[in-house]
């Protein structure tokens, strides 16, 4: 299932607009509501797009957010922090 989110609060770090979801600009309340409704309508009008975007999102999660990847990223962060303090 594709994600519909705002371009605010870190969603852009997780959702790739047009690939695994749709990002809506939160300019003001009215434009946000219109953008969100438009995104829903776009997906309702194109079931194939829902499938493709959903599969892309699942693939990204399996590659980027598995335990091994996250553990490797944490280790890299710790190593960089220690190296910056001259402890490594």
Contacts of range 49-56, beta carbons closer than 8 Å, 24 or more positions apart:
49/2, 50/1, 50/2, 53/2, 53/19, 53/20, 53/21, 54/1, 54/2, 54/20, 56/16, 56/19, 56/20
What is the value of pTM for the model shown?
Answer: 0.73
Label the pairing between strands 3-6 and 21-24: parallel
Q: What is the pLDDT of residue 79?
A: 93
Residue 11 CB coordination number (10 Å): 17
Q: What is the pLDDT of residue 58?
A: 94
Over residues 29-45, the mean pLDDT reads: 96
Maximal C-alpha separation, the chain: 57
Q: Where are the domains of the chain?
A: 3-61
């Amino acid at each position: 299932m594709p994600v519909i989110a705002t371009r605010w609060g870190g969603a852009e770090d997780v959702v790739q607009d047009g690939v695994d979801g749709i990002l809506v600009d939160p300019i003001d309340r009215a434009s946000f509501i219109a953008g969100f409704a438009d995104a829903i309508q776009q997906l309702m009008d194109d079931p194939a797009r829902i499938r493709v975007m959903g599969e892309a999102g699942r693939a990204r999660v399996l590659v980027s957010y598995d335990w091994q990847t996250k553990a490797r990223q944490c280790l890299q962060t710790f190593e960089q922090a220690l190296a910056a303090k001259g402890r490594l």
